[in-house]
């Protein structure tokens, strides 16, 4: 992601607001799911706006413009050459994230896959941060699918090849473990909520309640139940407001590509052979040696 260098300094030094809410994750860890959850909790469960305004406009993905790199822009500009409106939107999508968030109304919802060390150093003292982590084997499978379907990634190889890149820290936003461990070390900070994707899967109501408590919001049990129904995989997958459908519209995602795919824990078992399973375990064990972080899926 060579375009990172153009906005890196601006992001690191971006002015923060006391009511900003950052959602920080390694890609494919349940970001979109949590993003909708956080937005609704803070916005007094405004389902009507949530249906009308796409999640990508309610909450900004800080590094998205960096994915609009030169090759993809040239390709898209050619495809949309006869549609001035689309060309204008494509141009807007390239506006650096730091500029986009500066214009957002408060409270700002900011989604990022950048690790804490690349975000403003006062982030946790000035804003609220929700971090979501997920079993790296499921992350890799999920990211592999997206990398084949999303034109900016344009990956054509097998899962085996993808996995070998993943564990050598050669996929975007790597290294995976450093990303998680940086956040894990800060999990007791009062402005940090550290969640696992698997916790959301295992007990959505209890996890939603934890997020509500963290954000200082109180809802009745029936409201939490309604929110869980809204967030349930089957409903979420059908919700046009959270599916990033415009990626397909602009030709950035393969027609059959799915941003919201399986929604399970342990899907990696269908992709790993014995050697890969062993290699994964060694890699995980090695990286967990210096931390007390434990994945719910491995307990």
Q: Which of residues 1-30 bind ligand A3P (CB under 6 A)?
A: 25, 27-30
Burial annotation 245-267 (CB, 10 A radius, 16+ → b, else e): eebbebbbbeeebebebebebeb
- Contact mark string toward ligand A3P, 143..162, x via CB under 6 A: --x-----------------
Nearer to ligand A3P by C-beta: 122 or 159?
159
The shares of helix, strand and coil residues in the chain, as percent rounded to the nearest 5, are: 55, 10, 40
Under rule CB under 6 A, residue 136 binds ligand A3P: no
DSSP, residue by residue, 254-289: -TT--SS----SSGGGGT--HHHHHHHHHHHHHHHT
The closest of 11, 61, 64 to 31, measured between CA atoms, is 61
Q: Give the separation between CA 246 and CA 242, rounded to whole angstroms.
A: 10
Contacts of 291 (CB under 8 A, 6+ apart): 181, 184
Q: Is 11 or 24 the residue whose CB approaches ligand A3P more closely?
A: 24
Q: Figure out which of the listed residues 263, 279, 288, 293 binds ligand A3P, where binding follows CB under 6 A.
A: 263
Residues of this chain, 25-64, that bind ligand A3P according to CB under 6 A: 25, 27-33
Q: How many residues bind to ligand A3P according to rule CB under 6 A?
A: 19
Nearer to ligand A3P, 58 or 145 (CB): 145
Residues numbered 183-242 forming contacts with ligand A3P, rule: CB under 6 A: 231, 233, 236
- Sign of the Cα pseudo-torsion (157, 159, 161, 165, in order): positive
Nearer to ligand A3P, 30 or 136 (CB): 30
- CA-nearest of 198, 67, 61, 186 to 127 is 186
The four Cα atoms 291, 187, 167, 150 give a dihedral, to 10 degrees, of 170
Which one of residues 267, 277, 293, 296 is an interface residue with ligand A3P (CB under 6 A)? 267
Quick note: the x/- pattern for ligand A3P over 90-129, rule CB under 6 A, is ----------------------------------------
Q: Which is nearer to ligand A3P, 7 or 138 (CB)?
A: 138
> Which residue, 238 or 286, is less far from ligand A3P as judged by CB?
238
Q: For residue 98, what are its two tokens?
A: 């730091």
For ligand A3P, which is the closer residue by CB, 30 or 65? 30
What distance in Å separates the CA atoms of residue 114 and residue 25, rounded to the nearest whole number? 7
Which 241-260 positions form the footprint of ligand A3P (CB under 6 A)? 260
Which residues of the chain form contacts with ligand A3P (CB under 6 A)?
25, 27-33, 138, 142, 145, 231, 233, 236, 260-263, 267
């Amino acid at each position: 992601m060579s375009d990172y260098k153009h906005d890196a300094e601006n992001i690191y030094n971006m002015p923060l607001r006391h009511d900003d809410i950052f959602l920080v994750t390694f890609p494919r860890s349940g970001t979109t799911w949590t993003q909708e959850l956080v937005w609704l909790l803070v916005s007094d469960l405004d389902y009507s706006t949530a249906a009308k305004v796409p999640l990508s406009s309610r909450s900004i993905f800080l590094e998205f413009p960096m994915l609009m790199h030169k090759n993809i822009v040239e390709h898209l500009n050619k495809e949309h050459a006869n549609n001035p409106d689309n060309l204008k939107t494509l141009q807007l999508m390239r506006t650096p994230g730091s500029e986009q968030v500066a214009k957002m109304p408060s409270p700002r919802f900011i989604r990022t896959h950048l690790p804490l060390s690349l975000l403003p150093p006062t982030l946790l003292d000035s804003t609220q941060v929700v971090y979501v982590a997920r079993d790296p084997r499921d992350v890799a499978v999920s990211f592999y699918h997206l990398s084949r379907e999303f034109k900016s990634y344009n990956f054509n190889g097998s899962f085996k090849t993808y996995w070998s890149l993943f564990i050598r820290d050669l996929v975007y936003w790597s290294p995976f473990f450093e990303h998680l461990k940086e956040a894990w070390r800060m999990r007791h900070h009062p402005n940090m909520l550290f969640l696992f994707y698997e916790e959301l899967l295992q007990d959505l109501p209890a996890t939603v309640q934890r997020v509500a408590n963290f954000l200082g919001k109180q809802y009745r049990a029936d409201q939490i139940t309604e929110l869980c129904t809204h967030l349930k995989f089957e409903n979420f997958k059908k919700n046009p407001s959270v599916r990033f459908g415009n990626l397909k519209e602009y030709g950035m995602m393969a027609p059959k590509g799915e941003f919201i795919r399986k929604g399970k824990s342990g899907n990696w078992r269908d992709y790993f052979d014995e050697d890969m399973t062993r290699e994964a375990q060694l890699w995980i064990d090695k990286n967990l040696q210096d931390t007390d972080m434990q994945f719910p899926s491995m307990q």
